[in-house]
Amino acid sequence: MSEPAVQRRGLGDVIPRPAEVRPDPAADFRIGTGTAIRTAPGSAAARRVGEHLAALLRPATGFALPVGEESGAIALLLDDGAETDGEPDGDEGYRLEITPEGVTVRAAAPAGLFAAVQTLRQLLPAEIDGAAPRDADWVLPGGRITDRPRFAYRGVMLDIARRFFTVAEIEAYLDSVVQFKINHLHLHLTDDQGWRLEIDGWPRLTEVSGGAGTGVDGAGPGYLTRADYTELVAYAAERFVTIVPEIDMPGHVNAAQVAYPELTADGTAVAPRTDTEVGYSSLVAGKEETYAFVEDVVREVAALTPGPYLHIGGDEAQATTAEDYRTFIQRVLPLVAKYGKRVVGWHEMAGVELPETAVAQYWRIEAADEGTARAAANGSKVIMSPADRTYLDMKYTADSPLGLDWAGVIDVERSYDWDPAERLPGVGEEALLGVEAALWAETLRSLADAQTMTYPRLPAVAEIGWSPRASHDWESFRRRLAAFGPRWRHQGVAFHPSPEIPWA
């Protein structure tokens, strides 16, 4: 069988769509056997981004692509005069110029170089993601791109409580999401069905509630040791991704109570749960044991996490009275601050008065939310994750084999055609830290299941988070998305072949 011809890409054929694109069809650059990568002198971080680029390009090209500081037609440079058209580039902005002589990337920080590498990867033919060397014309389209994100926070959440995902699976997932300039991975570490992070001094959390038979239908056992978590944090940091750990409380705590009955109201043991009910378990607001436990957990998670955020859940606490909920959150907020972290919580937390530094994550489907609006008015930032747009665990169509449908069915157009700054009254552009797509795992049984629900909807949310509001355009998006069919096949990433997309 002859190999299909490798097609030249257009300079704007990128997701998320870059802020400014000026093609110059006469200025294509061809990567060849002698091409080298040159990185900013004296910057170990830039050097690692160069190595990352080389590692992406070597398998399919078969070229050596040496990385050094002396010479090379592909240059990844740092300069802090970085400002384009009066707009500061920020850490993630970059300028990319492609000419027949070479490729020059300039950014104020290594994160910008990494973002540019994701763009470069997409500018090459899909075959660049193949595992074996092939003979092809590795052409980058000529011209200039100037790019920077709309929002600082572009996240994806993975629920490893309902179904545990191993370090290798989480790393594979991370590798696929960074292509879309996702820069936060929120790990939902604990829930009624399982506890997935080892905590010093509380071994039964993981021995019992991370062990055999845990997870929905008992199909998701496993947990992260502290060493595993530390490895994940480092792996993410190499890809400029911040891990946001979530310990869900005061509700969603049945697994903790199974392991430690002293955390229940009367101290009696509760049975493990593997069903998908929510809203039945609660930590006890009026018991000192509760806060001794929470402080140990918060201290430990904070110590293991270099990123600024610690997510305390706070959702669906139907088994907690309103008064107890307030008491509990007001005791826990200062604990998170005490261990140096900025608190994030699902927006129910905004029913309690919050410090300005707190972040509320809106997840419901209503057209307004008083608590979130009040938090925004008080200076808190908001992450937008409306379930009817960003929940990756919702079915694509009524007959999708995986997923739930309580927030409706979500096809690709529905996940793309909305604006986070217009979602809630009182929560405009200035109040937004960013957007996050959430993948709950009740119906997932494998990494392929997780990928199938994630792609192709995550790229839609990623583009909303990164690209200028004015560039939003469904017709353009679905055409650009079509090119990912062959890319994902080469990468071994499963996806749902939505009929809305004219797949290549």
Which CB sits closer to ligand TNX, 333 or 394?
A: 394
Interface pick for ligand TNX out of 363, 416, 484, 488 (rule CB under 6 A)? 363
Query: How far is Cα 445 from Cα 226, in angstroms, rounded to an integer?
Result: 24
Which CB sits closer to ligand TNX, 23 or 279?
A: 279
For position 91 contacting ligand TNX by CB under 6 A, the verdict is: no
Interface pick for ligand TNX out of 309, 346, 466, 484 (rule CB under 6 A)? 346
Token code pair at residue 334: 């200062």
For position 421 contacting ligand TNX by CB under 6 A, the verdict is: no
**Count of chain residues binding ligand TNX (CB under 6 A):** 10
**Binding mask of the shown chain, residues 440 to 479, with x at each position contacting ligand TNX by CB under 6 A:** x-x-------------------------------------
For position 391 contacting ligand TNX by CB under 6 A, the verdict is: yes
Q: Is 228 helix (H, G, I), strand (E, B) or coil?
A: helix
For position 316 contacting ligand TNX by CB under 6 A, the verdict is: yes
Q: Specify the pairing of strand 143-147 against strand 94-99.
A: antiparallel
Positions in 426-445 near ligand TNX (CB under 6 A) = 440, 442
User: HSE-up of 293 (CA within 13 Å, CB side)?
Assistant: 24
Which CB sits closer to ligand TNX, 94 or 363?
A: 363
Taking residue 64's Cβ as centre, other Cβ atoms within 10 Å add up to 12
- Closest Cα partner for 147 from 120, 110, 116, 121? 116
Which CB sits closer to ligand TNX, 42 or 401?
A: 401
For position 396 contacting ligand TNX by CB under 6 A, the verdict is: no
**Binding mask of the shown chain, residues 296 to 315, with x at each position contacting ligand TNX by CB under 6 A:** -------------------x
For position 240 contacting ligand TNX by CB under 6 A, the verdict is: no
Which CB sits closer to ligand TNX, 346 or 477?
A: 346
For position 411 contacting ligand TNX by CB under 6 A, the verdict is: no
Asked if the bond preceding 386 is cis, omega within 30° of 0, the reply is: no
- Closest Cα partner for 371 from 174, 181, 273, 382? 382
Which CB sits closer to ligand TNX, 50 or 251?
A: 251
Query: How far is Cα 322 from Cα 157, in angstroms, rounded to an integer?
Result: 27
By the 10 Å C-beta count (0-12 exposed, 13-18 middle, 19+ buried), 316 is classed as middle
Taking residue 449's Cβ as centre, other Cβ atoms within 10 Å add up to 18
| Catalytic residue annotation | 316
Positions in 260-289 near ligand TNX (CB under 6 A) = 278
H/E stretch holding 59: helix 44-61
Interface pick for ligand TNX out of 393, 411, 436, 449 (rule CB under 6 A)? 393
State the sign of the Cα–Cα–Cα–Cα dihedral 75, 78, 81, 85: positive
Taking residue 49's Cβ as centre, other Cβ atoms within 10 Å add up to 29
Give residues in contact with ligand TNX (CB under 6 A).
Answer: 278, 315-316, 346, 363, 391, 393, 404, 440, 442
